[in-house]
Amino acid sequence: MPMFSNLNDAKDRDANDPLSGYRSLFFHPDPDLIYMDGNSLGKLPIASRDTLSNLIDRQWGDRLIRSWNEGWLDMPQRIGEKISSLIGAAPSEVIVADSTSVNLFKLIVASLTHQAPRKKILTDSLNFPSDIYIIQGTIKMLNQNHSLIMIPSEDEIHGPEEDIIEAMDENTALLTLSHTVFKSGYTYDIEKLTSKAHEKGIMVLWDLSHSVGALPIHLNTHYIDMAVGCTYKYLNGGPGAPAFLYVNERISHTLGNPISGWMGQKDLFDFSTNYTPTADISQFLTGTPPILSLAPIEKGVDIILDAGIDKLREKSLAQTQYLIDLWEQILKPLGYHLKSPLNPVYRGSHVSLGHPEGMGIDLALINDHHIIPDFRAPDNIRLGVSPLYTTYEEIYRTVLALEHIVNTQSYLKYKNDQPTVT
Ligand SMILES: *Cc1c(COP(=O)(O)O)cnc(C)c1O
């Protein structure tokens, strides 16, 4: 049995981790809780609580409407600028607004309009359901005979990259995919797919929700047309925090916002009755920004910028590899399947394990072991590594718990239960 399989080894790894200090910037009110779900809802940064209490007491409580001119109005741009350096975009190419789903809608409509008369929208079966629903709803709303081509993944783990490339043709308007897919954590070769799409005149729209803050992204270097992404996962922006939207400067003047509201209007306070969009990325704003949800994103992003995205990626890969090595040694013989890519090049920052008793195991982890994973039907136990605060010891203890649950069959207790939101 290899050397790494013991608690002291896990503790040594934590002691030698150059990023270990970042954990203390987050709240851990229950020191015994092992949180393996930072890929779904990131932890609360201590600085964000201070930001919020200042926002409530001083900015809202005392300054009231004056605060719009004291840092509120430009918050969508300011936080967008910070996010831009995490995703390799220019500061003027990113804005924070609305949810990922709504931003997808805006950019899908904008690009389909631009790409007329092309009719095909390409995606894969691994894409996030909301993304697929938005495409379906948009097709219905536009009523112009667009069609969705959903390329299946053979093993439901790896993205069907070659089949997608094969399906690209002169009638394809848009390719839209999750960069890192939500179930298996497969991460696409963004550069290869984008350049293949561009050869055929196809626009690309990447959903970076499960990538941003966990791995470096270079949108500008690869001429990515459009992207959206979530701020409440690895960016630790808080539940339901608004999402970001990126449009490459090269094409932004050719796209329009289908939800043309006053925040994207050129002279906001002219109250003109004719809509004239701003000439920059702020044209993709719609209504008044949700300041209370927006403000904490800034602190979450600051922490990542301080740690450095390349170093975070290095740690994330080391930790997912450690988890996969432990799976191979301890969990594979117990019937757990690896449902994430073995090749680190295609691996995001979470690892999915499948087991025929997956649902019961998930509930036993939560109820009996004080470990929070998440679960994606039918049998995916998703273990998120959030390199700012996940420790090797937590990973090791999670694997031991998974071993214990199967060895003692404690999952049988939960056979008839259903998990709630995890
Ligand atoms: C989490 C996630 C979303 C979330 O969208 P909301 O509009 O915030 O609900 C969208 N897309 C992907 C790929 C995600 O992982």
Of 82, 183, 196, 233, which residue is the catalytic one?
233
Query: At 296, is the pLDDT very low, low, confident or very high (cuts 50, 70, 90)?
Result: very high
Q: pLDDT > 70: what percent of the chain?
A: 98
Atom of ligand 1 nearest to the CA of 128: 13
Of 16-25, 205-214, 257-266, 375-384, where does mean pLDDT reach its minimum?
375-384
The helix, strand and coil proportions of the chain, stated in percent and rounded to the nearest 5, come to 45, 15, 40
Provide the whole-model pTM.
0.97
C-beta of residue 178 within 8 angstroms of C-beta of residue 186: no
Of residues 317, 324, 314, 321, the one with CA closest to residue 399: 324
Answer yes or no: is the C-beta of 206 below 6 A from any ligand 1 atom.
Answer: no
Please state at what angle helix 100-114 crosses helix 129-142, rounded to 10 degrees: 40
> Would the pLDDT of 212 be above 60?
yes
Alpha carbon distance 125, 184 (integer Å): 12
Q: Is the CB of 183 under 6 A from ligand 1?
A: no
* Burial of 47: CB neighbours in 10 Å, binned 0-12, 13-18, 19+: middle
**Residue 232 appears among annotated catalytic residues:** yes
Query: Does residue 231 contact residue 297 with C-beta atoms inside 8 Å?
Result: yes
Is 90 exceeded by the pLDDT of residue 406?
Answer: yes
Local confidence band at 422 (pLDDT 50, 70, 90 cut-offs): low
Catalytic residue flag (residue 128): yes
Catalytic status, residue 382: yes
DSSP β-ladder status, 172-178 and 120-124: parallel
Mutating to test ligand 1, I would choose from 182, 183, 245 the residue with most ligand atoms within 8 A of its C-beta, which is 182
Q: Which of 119-133, 183-197, 371-385, 390-404 is predicted least confidently?
A: 371-385
Across all residues in the chain, what is the average pLDDT? 96
Atom of ligand 1 nearest to the CA of 180: 13
- The predicted structure's pLDDT at residue 1: 43
Q: Tell me which of 188, 232, 389, 411 is the catalytic residue.
A: 232
- Ligand 1 atom closest to 240 (CA): 8
Give 130-168 pLDDT, tens digit per residue.
999 999 999 999 999 999 999 999 999 999 999 999 999
